[in-house]
Amino acid sequence: MTEKIRILIVDDHPVVRDGLRGMLSGQPEFEVAGEAQDGQQAVERAGRLAPNVVLMDLRMPVMDGVEATTRIRAALAGIHVLVLTTYDTDAEILRAIEAGATGYILKDAPREELYRAIRATAAGQSYLSPSVATRLMVQLRAPAESSLSQRELDVLTWVAKGASNKEIARALHLSEATVKSHLLHIFSKLGVNDRTQAVTLAMQKGIIELK
């Protein structure tokens, strides 16, 4: 007999948790291991209940889903997070993926798609809702110079000058964590892996100029 996929449901709305529990409990391949109403509870209960998949909402009180995902993935690498949310903005998607989410699906998805996403996530396979995947593809196909925000251009210009994250943070009145986040977005948009590649490509395309 195949072992069931254990799921932790995380959402701040009781009616949503009840609906998901009822839907998933009706499937013989799934077992609802527990529920949590905010990110802090999610982290605690993930450690205690050891689910295979955490169904994670994003916007919740006490601790949001991105921070909870970050903590779960850092402490419990064997547990995979599937974001289940109503938000499909580029910023939300990128934040969740950067935090370590294995999958991202919207709450208006058909139940069969949710089941497929859970199976894929439990197996450690990335899963993006089709509408989410489309948004990412549009962003990746957009010209890099038009998709970089002004703040990202500012950060990239300082990188080109040889400044460290600490120096950039001081110059732009940002935290070092925010500078790092901007750099991750820049790397993603330019399709590069490090600072040197980012600066080289940006200079070649005329995205930034050193005076």
Please write the tens of the pLDDT for every residue from 7-56: 999 999 999 999 999 999 999 999 999 999 999 999 999 999 999 999 99
User: What is the reported pTM?
Assistant: 0.66
Looking at domain 144-205, its CATH architecture is: Orthogonal Bundle (1.10)
Residue 173 in this model has a pLDDT that exceeds 90: yes
Confidence of residue 135 (pLDDT cuts 50, 70, 90): low
Q: Where do the CATH 3.40.50.2300 domains begin and end in the chain?
A: 5-138
Residue ranges of the chain that CATH labels 1.10.10.10 = 144-205
DSSP 147: H
CATH homologous superfamily of 5-138? Response regulator (3.40.50.2300)
What per-residue confidence (pLDDT) applies to 72? Answer: 95
Reported confidence tier of residue 1, pLDDT bands at 50, 70, 90: very low
pLDDT tens sequence across 104-133: 999 888 999 999 999 999 999 989 888 777
Let me know: does 66 contact 89? Beta carbons within 8 Å: no
Q: For residues 98 and 194, what is the distance between their CA atoms, to the nearest angstrom?
A: 15
Rounded to a whole number, what is the largest CA-CA distance in the chain? 68
